[in-house]
């Protein structure tokens, strides 16, 4: 089987490294995944329509990353109890033996109330392990009515197919979801997959949290019936059939009973049981402050082992905080939550300005980039605006904009990528906010200045960042 580079997608003639860019390689690249989807087409006897649907489903971005399941290096890591939000991941891969990832034993919580309201503007950033590096998804509540809640979703698509890491676009995907209020109350299905081939509304399911009834059952009865979308190959089948269903319906056909049955096979049905009687203290960055949220820990047995879940102990908004879908399934952890208090009139945030005044330095975790790219995501605009306002309030300041990465990929790659990202931030401040170019200096440091261990999913997320330093 041809080995493809996870960074640049080139055929790699060496078994363990790419001759083009030097990245470590493995044989689970895009071609392998595409070939698997094509094989599914043939096995299902739907080559004429399904092979077109394959292009949609393989390129679809899902919250559980069925097209980009956790790699072996990530599987050997445990998530870090000290987390923070980050920019999107750096491409590349590490070559290590596969093992089972498990969440750490987060300390017990005193059960203090967690105020994370379900309101428009609530934003949840999740770090996900995948082949070739980590990436982040950004989910934001857009509108709430008496009957439904609508949210937007943005995350990275498959990594760029070139070692030219300049801004190219088309490397991220956005989606939308509508959840019925009645399902937020009592649904027992968790439809966590986003992307092409996924319907906007899936009655009987939630998407960003579990229902109030699921949380109540876990706390009162210690168990509850639960359904979620599978990861790995089983989840890939579901994505494939979802895209197929959309195409057949668009062509005026309805899905057959056989197709519906196969689609149902891509879901996991289990009895979710509470793990212990107490609450876990789950670390997260909440409105730019490090806090520990009380979380209910629950587990269930599924086709590929045990699934692990941490749910915010908030009856009005039981967010899913972390989950691993089986022994070799996807691993995700919320690293940042933010919202604006709509009932209180506040001045715009001045934390960056205050940090620069008091410490001469500020860590920036609200600037997001496409996977392995210097393309800045739209969700970064509020932080860019805050940086510009700090500079406008302090006209004598000159700043060094520093780019930092995790250690996934080689040093040359990370040094180049971090430099490009620092320059992209500098250019955005110049062109969008008219900051004088001589007040900004861009410098990339690659993976040379980590904040935390790169052996963990959350540690790598914290290491991918922008820093500002007064000069």
Look at 184 and 258; give whichever has higher pLDDT: 184
Backbone angle region of 331, left / alpha / beta, with phi > 0 → left and psi within -120 to 50 → alpha = beta
At 193, is the pLDDT very low, low, confident or very high (cuts 50, 70, 90)? confident
Identify the top-confidence range among 131-145, 246-260, 391-405: 391-405
At 351, is the pLDDT very low, low, confident or very high (cuts 50, 70, 90)? confident
318 and 420, same domain (yes or no): no
**Stretch 191-205: mean pLDDT:** 85
* pLDDT tens for each residue of 391-418: 999 999 999 999 999 888 889 999 999 9
Q: Does a structural domain hold residue 184?
A: yes
183 and 295, same domain (yes or no): yes
Q: Does a structural domain hold residue 13?
A: no
DSSP codes, 243-291: HHHHHHHHTTPPPPHHHHHHHHHTEEEEEEEESSSS-EEEEEEETTEEE
Q: CATH number for the domain including 458?
A: 3.30.1330.60
Q: Is 117 exposed, middle or buried (0-12, 13-18, 19+ CB in 10 A)?
A: middle
The yes-or-no verdict on residue 94 having pLDDT over 80 is no
CA-CA distances (angstroms) from residue 116 to 49, 64, 340?
44, 23, 10
Tell me if 137 sits within 8 A of 337, measured CB to CB.
Answer: no
Interatomic CA distance for residues 437 and 453, integer angstroms: 34
The yes-or-no verdict on residue 173 having pLDDT over 60 is yes
159 and 190, same domain (yes or no): yes
Of the residues 338, 363, 392, which one is the last residue of a structural domain?
A: 338
Interatomic CA distance for residues 248 and 56, integer angstroms: 13
Question: Residue 400 forms beta bridges with which residues?
Answer: 441, 469
Report the predicted TM-score, pTM, of the whole model to 2 decimal places.
0.75
Q: To which H or E segment does residue 84 belong?
A: none
Per-residue b/e over 427-436, b at no fewer than 16 CB within 10 Å?
Answer: bbbeeeeebe
Handedness of CA 129, 67, 155, 168 (dihedral sign): positive
Interatomic CA distance for residues 216 and 95, integer angstroms: 43
Q: In the chain, pLDDT over 70 holds for what percent of residues?
A: 64
Q: Tokens 């105020």 map to which residue?
A: 115
151 and 272, same domain (yes or no): yes
Residue of 268, 322, 317 whose CA lies nearest to 297: 322
**Stretch 145-165: mean pLDDT:** 73
- Residue 241 has a pLDDT of 58
Q: Does a structural domain hold residue 366?
A: yes
The yes-or-no verdict on residue 109 having pLDDT over 60 is yes
Pairing of strands 399-404, 465-470: antiparallel
Interatomic CA distance for residues 383 and 125, integer angstroms: 15
Q: Does a structural domain hold residue 345?
A: no
The yes-or-no verdict on residue 37 having pLDDT over 80 is no
With H, G, I as helix, E, B as strand and everything else as coil, classify residue 458.
helix
For 146-215, the three-class secondary structure string (H helix, E strand, C coil) is CCEEEEEEEEECCCCCCCCCCCCCCCEEEEEEEEEHHHHHHCCEECCCCCCCCCCECCCEECCECCHHHH
Q: Does a structural domain hold residue 11?
A: no
309 and 398, same domain (yes or no): no
Residue of 233, 262, 268 whose CA lies nearest to 245: 262
Of the residues 283, 314, 338, which one is the last residue of a structural domain?
A: 338
429 and 308, same domain (yes or no): no
Q: Does a structural domain hold residue 137?
A: yes
407 and 278, same domain (yes or no): no
End-to-end, the C-alpha distance of the chain in Å comes to 52
209 and 299, same domain (yes or no): yes
At 302, is the pLDDT very low, low, confident or very high (cuts 50, 70, 90)? confident
284 and 364, same domain (yes or no): no
- Residue 73 has a pLDDT of 32
412 and 457, same domain (yes or no): yes
Interatomic CA distance for residues 73 and 331, integer angstroms: 12
440 and 318, same domain (yes or no): no
320 and 432, same domain (yes or no): no
- Residue 87 has a pLDDT of 43
DSSP codes, 91-113: P--------------PPBP----
With H, G, I as helix, E, B as strand and everything else as coil, classify residue 40.
helix
- Residue 453 has a pLDDT of 85
Domain count, the chain: 2
Look at 175 and 104; give whichever has higher pLDDT: 175
At 155, is the pLDDT very low, low, confident or very high (cuts 50, 70, 90)? confident
Q: Is 48 exposed, middle or buried (0-12, 13-18, 19+ CB in 10 A)?
A: exposed
Q: Does a structural domain hold residue 356?
A: yes
Of the residues 303, 338, 373, which one is the last residue of a structural domain?
A: 338
For residue 30, report the phi and psi dihedrals to the nearest 5 degrees. -60, -40
Pairing of strands 289-302, 280-286: antiparallel
Q: Does a structural domain hold residue 57?
A: no
Q: Give residue 396's domain range.
A: 351-470
């Amino acid at each position: 089987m041809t080995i493809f580079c996870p960074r640049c997608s080139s055929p790699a003639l060496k078994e363990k490294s790419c001759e083009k860019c030097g990245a470590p390689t493995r044989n689970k690249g895009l071609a392998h995944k595409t070939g698997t989807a094509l094989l599914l087409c043939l096995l299902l006897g739907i080559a004429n329509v399904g092979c077109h649907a394959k292009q949609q489903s393989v390129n679809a971005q899902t919250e559980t990353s069925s097209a980009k399941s956790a790699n072996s290096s990530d599987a050997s890591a445990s998530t870090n109890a000290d987390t923070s939000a980050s920019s999107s991941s750096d491409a590349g891969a590490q070559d290590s033996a596969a093992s089972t990832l498990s969440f750490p034993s987060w300390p017990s919580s005193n059960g203090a109330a967690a105020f994370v309201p379900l309101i428009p503007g609530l934003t949840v950033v999740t770090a996900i392990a995948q082949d070739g590096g980590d990436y982040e998804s950004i989910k934001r509540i857009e509108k709430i009515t008496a009957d439904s809640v609508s949210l937007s979703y943005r995350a990275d698509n498959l990594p760029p197919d070139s070692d030219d890491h300049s801004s190219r676009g088309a490397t991220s995907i956005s989606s939308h979801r509508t959840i019925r209020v009645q399902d937020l109350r009592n649904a027992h299905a968790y439809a966590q997959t986003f992307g092409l081939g996924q319907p906007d509304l899936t009655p009987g399911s939630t998407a960003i949290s579990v229902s109030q009834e699921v949380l109540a059952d876990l706390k009162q009865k210690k168990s509850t019936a639960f359904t979620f979308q599978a990861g790995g190959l089983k989840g890939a089948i579901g994505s494939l059939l979802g895209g197929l269903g959309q195409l057949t319906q668009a062509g005026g056909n309805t899905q057959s009973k056989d197709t519906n049955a196969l689609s149902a096979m891509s879901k996991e049905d289990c009895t979710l049981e509470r793990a212990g009687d107490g609450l876990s203290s789950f670390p997260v960055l909440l409105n730019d402050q490090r806090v520990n949220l009380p979380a209910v820990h629950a587990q269930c047995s599924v086709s590929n082992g045990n699934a692990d879940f941490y749910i915010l102990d908030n009856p009005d908004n039981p967010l899913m905080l972390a989950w691993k879908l089986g022994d070799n399934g996807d691993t995700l952890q919320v690293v940042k939550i933010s919202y604006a208090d709509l009932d209180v009139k506040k001045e715009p945030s001045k934390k960056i300005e205050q940090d620069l005044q008091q410490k001469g330095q500020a860590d920036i975790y609200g600037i997001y980039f496409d996977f392995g790219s210097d393309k800045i995501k739209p969700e970064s605009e509020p932080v860019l605006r805050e940086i510009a306002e700090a500079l406008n309030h302090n006209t004598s300041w000159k700043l060094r904009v520093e780019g930092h990465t995790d250690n996934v990929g080689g040093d040359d790659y990370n040094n180049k990528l971090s430099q490009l990202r620092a320059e992209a931030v500098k250019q955005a401040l110049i062109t969008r906010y008219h900051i004088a170019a001589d007040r900004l200096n861009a410098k990339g440091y690659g993976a040379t200045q980590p904040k935390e261990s790169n052996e963990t999913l959350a540690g790598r997320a914290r290491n991918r960042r922008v820093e500002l330093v007064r000069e």
